[in-house]
Amino acid sequence: MALTPDVILAHPHCEAALRRQARACLATHEAQPRLASIFATQQRWLLAMLALSLYLSRDGHPETPGLRATLLLDEAVRLDIASRNTAHSFLQDMQQHGLVTIETSDSDRRLRLLHAQGFVIDMLHHWLSIQFETLDALDGGTRGTRFAAEPQAVARLQPLITAALLAARPLRVQGGALSFFTWLGDGGLVLDWLIANMAEDVAENGRVRIAETSIPLLAQQLSLSQADLTRRLKEARLAGGVGWSDLRGRIKLWITPDFRDEYCLYQATKLTLLDRVFDQSRL
């Protein structure tokens, strides 16, 4: 049976698979917190995917030794991902953190050429492996094994994934409480933690229980300041879908079933897109 969002959501182990996926993403952040946090918002993730797509697509053309910085800025504006200034700031952050190098073209000193560092490609490979493992857990497939066996898998898949992603409005534009986490700085990290620690059942009061924790402990786990984390949680509570009870220095977090369902639908839509692209690539 072809995977669709409805098929994934109806799977009896859907939520368990998404919890494992969130835990794997958190483990990536713990291993490389600075690198992972740079892509912790929807806009930065889209900019990174666009930049890598343009960079990988130009491979095989020796007359173009790197990606023109102006092309990335132009495409970010054309595709309505970010303003030119925002995209430029993103590039500066990438350079500052050593994710890309920017060189001047030998043939035209006015051109700035971007080169992605190898560990950036490795991180994307790891992220895609996590997604394919989730898909395999749902239908018994072998995407993860086939992906790992192909040395050029990222170069073949990433431009196709980016094109499909940019054309998928449900993935680019979320509403409701979920948008708070996907568009605000470090919100993606907090969201992964909530889902990774989500209970399997719904309590009698209609809330989905999350693990008990404390602000200092959670801030340490996510490499955030306590002030930033407290502000994020308070803003999330105002946005709806998330709340907590105070327990003498600790908090017992919860999310609503609607928020959980919104998250699951987003993930199911994304996984369906990745499955379709994987099939098209014939890996």
Under DSSP, is residue 274 helix (H, G, I), strand (E, B) or coil? helix
Please report, in angstroms and rounded to a whole number, the separation of the first and last CA atoms in the chain.
19
What is the pLDDT at residue 57? 85
What is the pLDDT at residue 37? 63
CATH architecture of 5-173: Orthogonal Bundle (1.10)
What is the distance between the alpha carbons of residues 181 and 223, in angstroms, rounded to a whole number?
16
Mean pLDDT by 10 residues, the chain (283 residues): 90 96 90 72 90 80 70 95 95 88 75 84 93 97 96 94 92 79 78 91 83 90 85 83 84 91 94 96 87
What is the pLDDT at residue 64? 58
Q: What is the CA radius of gyration of the chain?
A: 20
What is the pLDDT at residue 62? 45
What is the distance between the alpha carbons of residues 226 and 214, in angstroms, rounded to a whole number?
10
What is the pLDDT at residue 22? 96
DSSP per-residue string spanning 45-77: HHHHHHHHHHHHHTTT-TT--SEEHHHHHHHHH
All structural domains of the chain with their residue ranges: 5-173, 178-261
Check if 5-173 and 178-261 are the same fold: yes
What is the pLDDT at residue 61? 52
With vertex at residue 73, the alpha carbon angle to CA 72 and CA 75, rounded to the nearest 5 degrees, is 65
Query: Which of 105, 119, 138 lies closest to 38 in space, CA to CA?
Result: 119
Domain at 178-261: CATH code: 1.10.10.10
What is the pLDDT at residue 42? 85
State the CB neighbour count (10 A cutoff) for residue 125.
15
Sign (positive/negative) of CA torsion 77, 79, 81, 87? Answer: negative
Phi, psi of 107 (to 5 degrees): -85, -25
